[in-house]
Chain A
Amino acid sequence: MDHRHRWTPLKKGFPQKICACGLVAVKELRIGKNTITLSPGGNGDDTMRYSLFGTPGTVSQLAMDPSTGSGRPVTRQGQFARRLRLADEAIAKKFWRYNQDADTTSILNINSTATISVVGTPSVLSVTGGQFISYSSGGDNGWANTSFNETQKQGFPTFVAYIRTGPIVTSVNYHIGLTSSDPFTTNPSMGMVRFNTGAGDTTWMAVTGNGASAGGTTAVSLGLSVTANTIYLIRIQFTTTGVGFQIASVSGTGNVLGVATLPVSTALLGTFARMRALSGTREFGISHVAIAENNPYL
């Protein structure tokens, strides 16, 4: 939304003005075409209305997203601007997750009956910032729903994973996200974060695919190098117009939105969070994976 007010005096002798939209304002703060309007009355009683979205750059800033599908307050948390959760949001979305069961190498399904297949030798890894199941082997390591049947792009899923790299990040192939088939061996419909040294990756990559064997995969650098023994939080958001990626560590940041190649809208997608050792033995830690669906509202 890009709302431009057209003010007319409310009443002769009063400071207030009224817009055709019904907003009554005593103060309109303007920079170019951008406005913040303070309104103590009218359609929008006691409101502060933002005309456009501004990205909070520090933790003390507050913006509003005036797009119709959002309307949320926005603050800065850590390295990213984050839209705020509204009071009834927990019941407005379908939500499921897979947690490491505390102090064990077991996985707990929450609101999901999907079978998560595990490969690699597991052990419990506790470090500052969380507890993980650390998988170790000279082959594949980690979790996957090999039925690939949890969601579809048209369900607007958001995928989140809380993972930790192992002590060696050379000769590794990480793929973490939602996919229609095994990304190590096929060209799936997918939205995933990748770090595949075998493909020449030097940073975390945002990868999307539409299932076509030729030209069906797009990979874009997230601008964040891969560090050993580091916790990363990964968010992948599927919308009508693109796939948004965020990956963050304590020390780094990266953000790409609108990767062009989209998964097939109706392709069934499943959880995949694995690392393939390309030589030697490699380790990969997973704390939890969570997915929210019916989430067109950013």
Chain B
Amino acid sequence: MWVQELKAGLKTVSLGSNLATFAGATDPVIAGDMSVIDTRLRGLVSAAVLNSRNVDEPAALREWSVSATPTGNASNTAVSTVVNSGISTVITQGPTHPSVPVLSTSDGQYKNYRTGGVNVQTGWRTATFNQTQRRFFPTWTCIFRPNGLGMPTRFWVGVCSGNPSGADTGTLLHLAALHISTSGAGTWSAVTNDGSAGANFFSSGFGFSQTGMILTIQLTDTIVRFTLRNASGGNPTVVTTSTQMPGLTTGLGFVAQVTQTSGAFSGIGIRNAYLTQGQVAY
């Protein structure tokens, strides 16, 4: 029983007895828009479409995280540590920045890593690559800041069955990751691979800049979705693929690393990495 049905073509919003029904809803386009798509209420936050969480979702989902500890205030450059919550095998790799171990910027605070030689890798990755599998429906998020502007540099950030940082190819790995090999220009590639010799590279549409980035990678049985935003808000980009997805039963860990390919140094700041698993619709 509906009191009011607002109709535009075949789309309706129906207001009834203490329920509003959004039939065929689409994403919000300006702040203040609200829609309900599938199970989620959606709004536009800093130009990105965000989903609501349910009140007990942290408990219903299995999740773990890695965070750089806070250091008090923006001028504090003391070395922060890395704290694991629910994950036992994360390692930090390579040297921290010798003079700015904590990077405080207008878009947040990062534990700051910088290489000191060619082919040196630095950042975070799991020591073993068995934290999740695609059949567990994982969603992985990382907030990081590339600091290699102007330097020949290779970045890999994402979930993977092994460490891809030694090359730009992702060869023979199972992965869903963001990659760029740059001297300060170009566009990040979203990359998937199912263990093949040649990985599936495609443009994320997200340009390289020395600013904080929020990367979310969702893996389901049918799709891999990359969502990229600036950590300060805005510039959201969403790309999806069903090509060369990681194997359903292949163990996956994560990497957020930079590799210096030549020159003096390369850098990456990392704030946190966060994984939820088990997003079956219970």
Q: Which A residues are closer than 8 A to B by beta carbons?
A: 27, 29-32, 34, 36, 46, 48, 50-54, 56-64, 72-73, 75-80, 82-85, 89-90, 95, 97, 99, 101-104, 106, 108, 110-111, 126-131, 158, 160, 162, 231, 233, 235, 248-250, 287-288, 290-292, 298
Bitwise, B14-57 to A at CB < 8 A (1) or not (0) is 01111111110100000010001111110000000000111111
Q: Which residues of A contact B54 (CB under 8 A)?
A: 75, 77, 82-85
Apart from A97-B86, A110-B85: 9 A-B pairs, beta carbons within 8 A:
A29-B15, A34-B17, A59-B39, A62-B22, A82-B55, A84-B53, A84-B54, A130-B62, A248-B282
Asked whether, in the complex, the Cβ of B280 is within 8 Å of the Cβ of A129, the reply is yes
Q: Which of B40, B249, B277 contacts A75 (CB 8 A)?
A: B40
Given contacts A60-B22, A77-B281, A85-B54, contact A291 B59 (CB under 8 A): yes
Q: Are B87 and A102 in contact (CB under 8 A)?
A: yes
The reply on B4 being an interface residue by CB < 8 A is yes
* Nearest CB of A to B254, in Å: 11
Cβ-closest chain A residue relative to B18: A54
B22 contacts across to A, CB distance below 8 A: 60-62
B20: chain A residues at CB < 8 Å are 36, 48, 61-63
Q: Does B135 contact A (CB under 8 A)?
A: yes
Number of interface residues of B (CB under 8 A): 53
Which B residues are closer than 8 A to A by beta carbons? 1, 3-4, 15-23, 25, 32, 36-41, 52-60, 62, 64, 85-89, 128, 130-133, 135-137, 221, 248-249, 251, 277-278, 280-282
Q: Which of B1, B86, B135 contacts A31 (CB 8 A)?
A: B1
With both chains docked as a complex, state the minimum distance between the C-beta of A98 and any C-beta of chain B, in angstroms.
Answer: 10
B25-A60 in contact (CB<8A):
yes
Does the CB pair A292–B58 fall under 8 Å? yes
CB distance from A61 to the nearest CB of B (A): 5
